[in-house]
A and B are shown apart, each in its own frame.
Chain A
Amino acid sequence: MSWYPLGRVVGGTVFPGIMLTAGSLYFFLKKIVRITVNIKHVCVFMGPFFASNASLITYLFTKEVSKDYGAGLISAVMIAIVPGYISRSVAGSFDNECIAIFALILTYYLWLKAVNTGSMFYAASCALAYLYMVSSWGGYVFIMNLIPLHAFVLILVGRYSRRLYVSYTTLYILGTLLSMQVPFVGFQAVQSSEHLAGMGIFGLIQLVAAVKYVKSILGEKYFKLFLKILGFIAVSILVLFVAVGLATGYIAPWTGRFLSLLDPTYAKKYIPIIASVSEHQPTAWSSYFFDLQSLVFLYPVGLYYCFKNPSDSKIFLILYAVTSTYFTGVMVRLMLVLAPICVILGSMALSNMFKLFAYKIREFDEEDKKKKKAQSKKPTNQKKKKKTEQNKIFNLGYIAATLMIALLTALFISYIFHSIWVTSEAYSSPSIVLAAKGYDGNRIIFDDFREAYYWLRQNTAPDAKIMSWWDYGYQITAMANRTVLVDNNTWNNTHIGTVGKAMVKTENISAQVMEQHDVDYVLVLFGGLIGYSSDDINKYLWLVRIGGTVDPSIKEEDYLNSRKEFRVDSQGAPSFLNSMMYKLCFYRFWEVKTEGNKPSGYDRVRNTVMGNQNYELEAVEEAFTSEHWIVRIYKVLKKENRK
């Protein structure tokens, strides 16, 4: 069980898409195809399976937009290995994003097909794909705002047509009705501010269609009067609607996660729990090259080609590109949404450049043949040198064109090498078993996590409750099979704040909080012995900030010393050196010699000697410390019956 003692309604707080997909794949394989597989294998390999489906859909998408088979093929190859997408779809990564990106590209492909052909069939299929997307990932809000934005921009630019009207109306009605079937979304689809754009553009497009119809019936003079009256009524109704909706609170304002995308500094000030996740950090320049390599150069070139010959679908690509680049700048996790559009635009650019040089070579061949024919027929020499400078297209030499094709191929090959290196070094390591290179080059394995979780599984009562920081909740629930207080699904921020408060206050207050929540064991991570830098002491300030949202007496400056530094040695802040987390992490560490020339109790992550030594624990007693002191488990002592 998780979120003790509150529990959670799993049906109403979880996106069911990925579970349903895994279940139906398993059912299909077992009952229809009659191959015996373990459900675990189905889940492990779902990431790569849907990534390959995404590759196929990207081929169709690029071919639809650019009408160029070559660009489609290049885009299929590139999205198969682009590191930004591979990082979330490796085998073993069973998360919402596995199927979400496939559903995203499928929805956009069907939308562009609908806009280009004006057929209700494609619009209805787009609504079904949108339902699949809504059931998989919270990022469906991106679709529900990008498609209305596209419709709006097409109206603005003057590309309104009957096809747009048919596709958008069908998609909006069917899509909203279908998305309300997912229990997590429910009536939010018509109430929350994140979905208002779709509704607004729906009203606007009805208005535009009605005005165009009336214009075709009325004469010029009466049409102007009609327009004035209609405009006045429409604006006043809209203002009334929005004002009443906002005033009565029926329309909910933007929720925290999405507001932090529009105002990046919002999360840092008000919602530290969202700001603390390392995936939610903003992106630095090098992450773009690391995740996209050549595409970061080819992407503006693809945009250039879209601006050069605009069409309905290319305007959509431009909007998708600009909005997703901005969102990627805010959160590095959203590089996943930028990767497909970068691949599509980059492959269009690469294909166009290949074509330029290939045509030059073909022209040379044809000119050569013409010259040979002309020379064989007429031996007379009639060379007229024209010295006047005419405007003509730069005539690239045969050798130069071949060289350029070779260079572009080399660029493509370097992309492949880079992607393979990045995947193998950065995105393929399991995070539950750590490995490091020893002094003589051989590999040392740190298996402390599994050791500690199996100790919990085998040596504690089955109904024991574990308090730890929320990063380890899922692992404890799955491997140790015990109830936890908070886990990785961050939807009850006050409960997480209470756990943070219990960790950063002194032992007495912490013991009270633990007794209120019926905690039996406390689990902390400590990396000082081996130099593991993702331990709980490095996350300490986040615990302070999140605990501060629940208890206003917890302030960050209390835990920094007089020079505003976060120190672990004797120069650290006294409230930090006496806090529960410090005492739990560093208990008996003063007896350990970590490096030869340093005193005992030397912390190899912070590179200082520990400050507060030789203390006793009163509320807890040490139950288990793993081999390399990474995971430490303490048993909470029950108070005596009588004093």
Chain B
Amino acid sequence: MSKKLNFLESSFCKAFRPPQLNLRIIKPSSMAVFAFVLFALFIVFAGVIYDLIVEPPSIGVEYGFGNERPVTILKGRLNSQYIFEGIDGALFYLLGSIGLILIDQALTKERREKYGKIMFYTGVGLFACSFIIIIFFIKLKVPGYLKR
């Protein structure tokens, strides 16, 4: 039986010889994959697909008193944006989430006390400021936000 299998093996190996590949299986750590996923979320939240299809200008222009002033946020309409405005919004979304992640990291991992304090207060500040700034942006875009 083993003679037949040896014969089969040798004939197979002679007929089909795969090349010598020195492949290593790459296993990224879960936090590295999470960082990549966050980056992909940033791209989508910034409305990059909207920019590709609708091709809005990168910054709006406001005319007044004989000169032009740049305007970042497209006022009045909800589902339209300038390119920079999209990136701004996605940045603040991500900063708010990173603030909350910092809070969690500060309270669950053992590290020196100074760093724990800095991480916690930075996280709280980041999240609070991002939330307030996003609400401010939305009030520019949707007139009458949270008013009857």
Cβ of A297 under 8 Å from chain B: yes
Stretch at the interface among A115-123, A169-177, A193-201, A222-230: A222-230
Q: Choose among A301, A322, A326, A411 the residue that contacts B97 (Cβ–Cβ < 8 A).
A: A301
Cβ of A39 under 8 Å from chain B: no
A298 to chain B, nearest CB (A): 7
Asked if residues B116 and A394 are in contact (CB atoms below 8 Å), the reply is yes
Q: Choose among B34, B48, B78, B120 the residue that contacts A304 (Cβ–Cβ < 8 A).
A: B34
| Chain B residues whose CB sits within 8 angstroms of the CB of A393 once the complex forms | 107-110, 116
Asked if residues B5 and A222 are in contact (CB atoms below 8 Å), the reply is yes
| Chain B residues whose CB sits within 8 angstroms of the CB of A268 once the complex forms | 53
What is the 8 Å Cβ interface bit string for chain A, positions 426-457, against chain B (1 contact, 0 not)? 00000000000000000000000000000000
Cβ of A21 under 8 Å from chain B: no
Cβ of B52 under 8 Å from chain A: yes
What is the 8 Å Cβ interface bit string for chain B, positions 90-111, against chain A (1 contact, 0 not)? 1001101110110110111111
- A409-427 contacts to B, CB under 8 A, are 411, 417-418, 421, 425
Bound together, the chains give a CA A310 to CA B34 distance in angstroms of 12
| Chain B residues whose CB sits within 8 angstroms of the CB of A318 once the complex forms | 37
Asked if residues B48 and A349 are in contact (CB atoms below 8 Å), the reply is no
Cβ of B3 under 8 Å from chain A: no
Task: For A222, give the chain B residue with the smallest CB separation.
Answer: B5
| Chain A residues whose CB sits within 8 angstroms of the CB of B114 once the complex forms | 389
- Given known contacts A281-B79, A289-B134, A391-B110, is B89 in contact with A225 (CB within 8 Å)? no
Cβ of B63 under 8 Å from chain A: no
- Given known contacts A282-B47, A286-B78, A288-B93, is B5 in contact with A225 (CB within 8 Å)? yes
| Chain B residues whose CB sits within 8 angstroms of the CB of A298 once the complex forms | 97, 100
Bound together, the chains give a CA A286 to CA B141 distance in angstroms of 8
B68 to chain A, nearest CB (A): 19
Asked if residues B34 and A360 are in contact (CB atoms below 8 Å), the reply is no
What is the 8 Å Cβ interface bit string for chain B, positions 40-53, against chain A (1 contact, 0 not)? 11001111111011
| Chain A residues whose CB sits within 8 angstroms of the CB of B106 once the complex forms | 394
Interface range for B = 35 or more
Cβ of B21 under 8 Å from chain A: no
| Chain A residues whose CB sits within 8 angstroms of the CB of B40 once the complex forms | 322, 325-326
Cβ of A307 under 8 Å from chain B: yes
Asked if residues B81 and A392 are in contact (CB atoms below 8 Å), the reply is no
- A377-421 contacts to B, CB under 8 A, are 389, 391-396, 404, 407, 411, 417-418, 421
- Given known contacts A290-B78, A290-B142, A297-B97, is B53 in contact with A325 (CB within 8 Å)? no
- A282-335 contacts to B, CB under 8 A, are 282-290, 294, 296-301, 303-304, 307-308, 310, 318, 322, 325-326, 328-330, 332
Q: Choose among A229, A265, A285, A394 the residue that contacts B113 (Cβ–Cβ < 8 A).
A: A394
| Chain A residues whose CB sits within 8 angstroms of the CB of B12 once the complex forms | 225, 228-229
Cβ of B30 under 8 Å from chain A: yes
Interchain residue pairs with CB less than 8 A apart (23): A265-B53, A268-B53, A282-B49, A282-B52, A284-B78, A284-B81, A285-B93, A286-B142, A289-B93, A289-B138, A290-B142, A297-B93, A297-B100, A301-B100, A303-B38, A310-B30, A325-B44, A329-B45, A389-B113, A391-B111, A394-B113, A396-B107, A396-B120
